[in-house]
Amino acid sequence: MFYKTNNDGFKEVLPGIKLKTLVYGEKTLFTEFRMNAGSTLPKHTHFHEQTGYLTEGKIRLTLGDETFEAEKGDSWCIPSNTEHGAEILKDSIAIEVFSPVRDEYLPQNGQ
């Protein structure tokens, strides 16, 4: 599967937070999140392992009882079933990989 960059196809999943699945395979899913300053990703858990990289902006990311201010170029890995959330401090773009595939993020499931 290949993906040619474009600005179409983003879906607002929370106020100020948009998601687009770029590519996916049998075991992983690759996404781009665009997040507006002042928006919040409430704390939550899921069984997917999640690895991310901040390409633009600044976010305050909480993983369990640890908090980290991620800036452009920083990355993280969120283990399965670990409570996490984020405060968006500056307009930001994050690239994230989920394993296993998050079915609700597949294009045929509402993207």
Question: What does the pLDDT look like over 25-74, one tens digit per residue?
Answer: 999 999 999 999 999 999 999 999 999 999 999 999 999 999 999 999 99
More confident residue, 109 or 55: 55
The fold adopted by the segment(s) 13-69+79-93 is Jelly Rolls (2.60.120)
Please determine, for residue 111, whether its predicted confidence score (pLDDT) is greater than 50. Answer: no
Question: Is pLDDT at 94 greater than 60 in this prediction?
Answer: yes
What are the structural domain ranges in the chain?
13-69+79-93
Phi, psi of 59 (to 5 degrees): -135, 155
Cα 20 to Cα 13, 68, 81, 106, distances in angstroms = 10, 24, 23, 9
**pTM summary value:** 0.91
